[in-house]
Amino acid sequence: MSENKQHAAFTFFTLPSGLALKNRVVKAAMEENLAEANQTPSQVLKNIYSEWAKGGCGLIITGNVMVDHLAMIGPGGLALEQQADITACAELARLAQQNDCKIVMQINHPGR
Ligand SMILES: Cc1cc2nc3c(=O)[nH]c(=O)nc-3n(C[C@H](O)[C@H](O)[C@H](O)COP(=O)(O)O)c2cc1C
């Protein structure tokens, strides 16, 4: 086998949705519980997403992002409601897309 053969984990991959990934290194949907008290992304959370992107991750899937701040799983969770100020989430998305990394937001409501 050639010394230069690239491991499959580091090859290009297109999801059925059409989202093209530069590699198969994916940060799973894991809630970090690092939101501010108003359920927006904190600087610490932004820094982590930035480091994952700069480190070569192909796709970051956020943890649960609740669609209703009254329906949270626990403290530190993110919420993004229809009329919310998206500034902090937009910054999180911008940082996560450095180095050609992609980001997908997992939206959730824990109730029926
Ligand atoms: C700390 C922690 C937080 C998690 N948060 C979420 C979450 O927000 N949403 C979700 O769908 N899965 C969540 N999971 C599940 C993971 O995404 C993943 O499915 C699980 O760890 C199994 O991974 P594996 O199939 O690679 O073993 C979480 C797991 C852990 C350990």
Query: How do residues 20-71 score in pLDDT, each as one tens digit?
Result: 999 999 999 999 999 999 999 999 999 999 999 999 999 999 999 999 999 9
Alpha-carbon distance of 72 to 78, in angstroms, equals 8
**Contact assessment for residue 23 and residue 13, using Cβ atoms and an 8 Å cutoff:** yes
Global pTM? 0.92
The one-character DSSP state at 42 is P
User: Considering all CA atoms of the chain, what is the largest pairwise distance in Å, rounded to the nearest integer?
Assistant: 56
Tell how far the Cα of 30 is from the centroid of ligand 1, in angstroms.
5
Q: Ligand 1 pocket: which of 26, 30, 67 to mutate (most atoms <8 Å of CB)?
A: 30
Ligand 1 contacts CB of residue 28 (under 6 A):
yes
Alpha-carbon distance of 56 to 10, in angstroms, equals 10
Ligand 1 contacts CB of residue 63 (under 6 A):
yes
All structural domains of the chain with their residue ranges: 20-108
Statement: residue 97 has pLDDT above 60: yes
Alpha-carbon distance of 72 to 12, in angstroms, equals 36
**Contact assessment for residue 103 and residue 93, using Cβ atoms and an 8 Å cutoff:** yes
